[in-house]
Amino acid sequence: MGRADAAGWTVVVPVKSLSGAKTRLAPELSPAQRAALARAFALDTVDAAAAAERVTRVVVVSDEPAIELALRETAGVDVVPEVGPRGLSAAIAHGVAVARADGGVAVLLGDLPAMRSRDLDAALELAVRHPLAFVPDAEGTGTTLATARAGEPLVAHFGADSAARHAAAGFVDLVAEHPGAVAPGLRRDVDTADELAEAVALGTRLRTASVVRTLSDLAGAPAPRHPFDPQATPARADRKAAS
């Protein structure tokens, strides 16, 4: 199934306001720095999705002017404003309604800076085998991708404990069903300093790498290193469950 195939996937990416984004990166970063990272995460994620061979269209749901401006000329990407009630669930439902076409529809979180196009292609190749499917985040409690094969209604369950709620709603866990087949970059969403360090270790895309490099330069002395450097940030067990 290639880009020209009518059975290709439409991917919905909700992007929240940048001004209040990534609050769990405080106090390490200022609001402006967090907004810069959130913008880079979103654009890197959309770029990767748009370049995936199995994706025919990307629908970005956002009221953020900086996102619309940056993506205005990007082939295969449509930016649509939120309508009615605000919030992640409402944005996703609106995006799914806009996106519904002949092929499958997927919802992808907009903070996956280490995801590559091939990572998404591989997951969508698995997803087409199941009416409904999802990819849990690296901690196994949240969700980074939810999919519905052509002809299947997609009611996503993002939010607290979304992995368990997707499983309870009949979505197949692609990580459990196909061990080793889902790339880490597709599972590493970023809300905390530890998670950003893990994404950096996996290898982020260009925009995120540029912002992280700037933050590292601002951090100053080489020892201790910047808190987002994977060599300086210890692993922690206290992980989020809100994706």
Express each pLDDT in 96-117 by its tens digit.
999 976 789 999 999 999 999 9
Q: Mean pLDDT over all residues of the chain? A: 88
Residues 9-187, CATH architecture: Alpha-Beta Complex (3.90)
Say yes or no to pLDDT of 6 above 80.
no
Task: Determine the Cα–Cα distance for residues 49 and 195; give it in Å rounded to an integer.
Answer: 21
pLDDT, position 100: 79
* Digit-coded pLDDT (tens) for 172-220: 999 999 999 999 999 999 999 999 999 999 999 999 999 999 987 765 4
Task: Determine the Cα–Cα distance for residues 164 and 80; give it in Å rounded to an integer.
Answer: 29
159 annotated ligand-binding residue: yes
Task: Determine the Cα–Cα distance for residues 146 and 8; give it in Å rounded to an integer.
Answer: 15
Instruction: For residue 118, give the DSSP letter.
Output: H
Q: What is the DSSP track for 169-238?
A: TT-EEHHHHSTT-S-HHHH---SSHHHHHHHHHH---HHHHHHHHHHHHHH-SSSSPPTTSTTTS---S-
What residues contact 157, with CB distance under 8 A and at least 6 apart?
143, 146, 165, 166, 169, 171
Bridge partner list, 136: 143
Under the banding of pLDDT at 50, 70 and 90, the label for residue 20 is: confident
Q: For the chain, what percent of residues have pLDDT higher than 70?
A: 86
CB atoms within 10 A of CB 217: 9
Q: Widest CA span of the chain, in angstroms?
A: 56
pLDDT, position 219: 52
216 annotated ligand-binding residue: no
Task: Determine the Cα–Cα distance for residues 188 and 75; give it in Å rounded to an integer.
Answer: 26
84 annotated ligand-binding residue: no
Give the chain's end-to-end CA distance (angstroms, integer).
29
* Digit-coded pLDDT (tens) for 166-176: 999 999 999 99
CB-count exposure of residue 44 (10 Å: 0-12, 13-18, 19+) = buried
